[in-house]
Structure 1
Amino acid sequence: MVPHRSPMKALVIVMIALLSACGLVDNPPGPNVTPLPSVKRDPSVGVVAEGPYAVKGVLRGADGPVADALVTLGDQRALSDADGRFEFTDAQPGVIVVKGAGYFPYEFTYSRGNLTLETTMERRPVARALRVYSEVAHSDAAFQALLDLAAGTTVNTLVFDTKDETARVLYATQVPEALALGFVVPRYDPAARVAQAKEAGLYTVTRVVTFEDSNWAGARPDHQLARSWIDPLNEEAWEYPLGLAVEACQLGFDEVQFDYVRFPTGVAAREARAKRSLTEDQRNAAIAAFLEEAAARLHAEGCAISADIFGIVMSMPNDQGIGQRIEEVTAHLDAVSPMLYPSHYGPGWLGYNDPNDYPGPVIAQALDAGMPRVAAGVEMRPWIQAFYYNGEQVRAQIDAAEARGAGWILWNYAGNYSADMLPPR
């Protein structure tokens, strides 16, 4: 979903004279900003009329209107509607910025006049990503080495952690719930690392572990479902991960990825069922409702939303007891990342004694089974295994994903990647 360059296509070229006459001047694009695709005068109002002025527009993509894009003009904000339309009725001079999930953003300077903008927004390419271990983000040298590795390969995205599986918040957050819990362990400066990544032309995602948190469950038993798990049906409990997600957008991340956004498995699942029995539809509705609320808040900040899901649900018709049936869990997402690690499949899967020995076929089967059920317009980018494997085995997974038009994210807990794992630029 991210470029290494800003595309310059014939559609994007604009008549500078017209822009000047309307009080508009394209800003020089940065590595993650594309120039204004097209601008025209509002035929009903002359640009030299006295104010207040109106700026309105229609945002379109190749597949139709672009809804829920954030448009800002100074401190004014608007979201495009289902038809891709937005309007400022009292437009003041400033920089207009448009950010739509899955699209290149653009910006330009507006000075005066009534205008109608008709824009064709261009989709980003699918994400080809590396996960950034917090200790790599902590180290200037290690992080620079990761940027250097990305620069020589097709990697176009970095996935950071701002809240991880240990329940730690890994930066100096100002979210009240995090401060009250007292489990803030700053390891890096997200704004600084995001700025470095964007300077390198990379799209930035951060992972927020959501409903499993032993620290939170112990401190707030009223939010607890079972053991270390928070109750997804408790809407008051949503505020903590949602607060972290919104703050991540404000720190500069392009996207927030919710992990552990599900009901528990194992012993915790048995205890949860003993406490309250839920149907499959109720579990799916609870997770979908959280993601719907998250999407509304993140889109309002100009951020995309994604989620991690169990790999097995790609190949099964039900939710596997965790509230992640494909149709519902992807309904409000911009991207989805099933964890398709061949080492996690048991003996006999697809007829293989050891599925870990067949990285390409395991990825291919899961994607072939699950992708037709994913909600329209949602990018598929599975987590793939970059542990226990050599470069050839990692590449076999990448090849299977790319052959199906999907992106990918490499998972290695400690961030140990080598160039032979990755397609060269």
Structure 2
Amino acid sequence: MKLILITALFQTLLFASYSGILVDKNTSAPIINATISDSTISVKSDENGSFTIDTNETYIHVKAYGYRPYKINTENNISNAELVSITVKALYLSFWSANTTSKKIKQVLKMIDETEINALVIDIKNEYGSTLFKTSFEQANSYGAHENRTNRDIEGFMELLKSKNIYTIARIVTFKDELQASNNPDYAIKKIDGSIWRNHDNMAWVDPFDSRSHEYAIAMAEEAAKVGFDEINFDYIRFPAKSGLAFCETNNQENRVETIGRFIDLAQNKLRKYGVFISVDTYGNICWSDDDNNIGQTVVSLAKHADYISPMLYPSGFASGSFYFENPSEHPYAVIYRSIKNIEDRIDSKRVRPWLQYFKDYAHTKKHYRKFEVREQIRAAEDINTSGWMMWSPSSTYHLNYFVKEDE
């Protein structure tokens, strides 16, 4: 009996309850079903926006769909925590452009100052495995991942972005990683003959079934979280769309889907203490498929684990005949709207943030995507009430006037 009392007293001293109410800063409406976390546990806000979390930590983090991340100091007693809503309108900034001195960043920052753009997607680890800045992740550094870095002042760079209230998204190329695979052939994806497989651009991949590939990508994501990114975006978080390859586990749909879900859960747990959102990139046809397309991704499975999903809804990526159009790229509004409408029964549209096309049609008529096509995609994303959109230009070349609405 004495031992039980001592244990209860110890637990009381160890953990203190912190309670609060989450409200929308503009409307004062309660924020329901938000996730409140310290480094080890998470709780949800109720229908009144109220929550209680048992923690002895100084800071806790709040994540609510459609809002910026929010950090609470538990040493301060506040009645209401006011969260700021955001519809993310992001441009992709390549590995080669994401530093304080590049011409691209100067152009992009001007656009952010003068248009609706409020967010950037920035390469932290690219397809080769190189890192944007020198991280504290010694395994990657030992492979020379930092040798081609293009940002030598990540703290100053992030300070610049935060000074402009830019929502920052760190893109991590996950299982496609030449450096990691070539330095770890024991868990690289292989051909049936046992040699390392490389895809059409001569890049090797690590085996998504192997837990070491999970730990590596998540360690890289943690480096991005440490320097202050709001969101981690996992790209190539899938199996290769290629048959006849050798893996360390049986390569069937059940195993693939379970593995991708396990990876995202591990990322959520490891990154919990930073309060970052987690988004995952998918093929556009995920919106129209009942199976996993042999890559381990379905809308239902990803919705169980990730905060946001980002289908690459490039109209040029859909085959002739899709949507009953001979050339889907001629119908940018319909492609975006219909695709997201088709998955409303599986995931709330406010948890969908599509990638949109900002490049020449490569599949059909070879037409250039200019202001009309870009704005039609944006209009569709807005009409279907997504959490926003992310614009993909491989060269990070954008036109300011494309993002100024006609009625402004």
TM-score (norm 2): 0.80
- 1:32 match: none
- 1:41 match: none
Conservation of the 8 A alpha-carbon contact between 1:342 and 1:359: yes
- Equivalences for residues 220-369 of structure 1 within 5 A: 220-226=184-190, 227=197, 228-266=204-242, 269-272=243-246, 277-369=250-342
CA distance in 1, matches of 2:246, 2:394: 29
Structural RMSD (CA)? 2.6
Whether 1:187 and 2:187 are equivalent positions in the alignment is no
- Equivalences for residues 105-254 of structure 1 within 5 A: 105-106=70-71, 110=75, 117-122=78-83, 124-138=85-99, 139-184=101-146, 185-188=148-151, 189-226=153-190, 227=197, 228-254=204-230
Whether 1:422 and 2:383 are equivalent positions in the alignment is no
% of aligned pairs identical? Answer: 27
Counterpart code for 1:198:
K
Unaligned runs of 5+ in 1: 1-50, 71-76
Counterpart code for 1:251:
V
Conservation of the 8 A alpha-carbon contact between 1:336 and 1:378: no
Distance 1:334 1:109, change over 3 A: closer
- 1:67 match: 35
Distance 1:332 1:60, change over 3 A: farther
Counterpart code for 1:69:
S
Distance 1:88 1:369, change over 3 A: closer
- Residue by residue over 1:200-251, the C-alpha shift from the partner in whole angstroms, topping out at 9 and shown as x without a partner, is 1111011000011122222112211232221111112211111010111001
Counterpart code for 2:236:
Y
Counterpart code for 1:222:
D
- 1:10 match: none
CA distance in 2, matches of 1:99, 1:377: 20
SS of 1:371's equivalent in the other structure is coil
Distance 1:293 1:276, change over 3 A: closer
Conservation of the 8 A alpha-carbon contact between 2:137 and 2:219: yes
CA distance in 2, matches of 1:148, 1:334: 30
- Residue by residue over 1:295-348, the C-alpha shift from the partner in whole angstroms, topping out at 9 and shown as x without a partner, is 111122221111101111111111111000110012121111110111111111
- Residue by residue over 1:149-203, the C-alpha shift from the partner in whole angstroms, topping out at 9 and shown as x without a partner, is 0121111111100001232212111212211222322101333222211111111
TM-score (norm 1): 0.77
Distance 1:157 1:251, change over 3 A: same
Aligned residues: 357
CA distance in 1, matches of 2:82, 2:270: 22
- 2:356 match: 384
Tell me the CA shift for residue 395 of structure 1: 0.6
Whether 1:100 and 2:60 are equivalent positions in the alignment is no
Counterpart code for 2:123:
D
CA distance in 2, matches of 1:192, 1:344: 37
Counterpart code for 1:383:
W
CA distance in 2, matches of 1:373, 1:328: 10
Tell me the CA shift for residue 142 of structure 1: 2.8
Distance 1:377 1:367, change over 3 A: closer
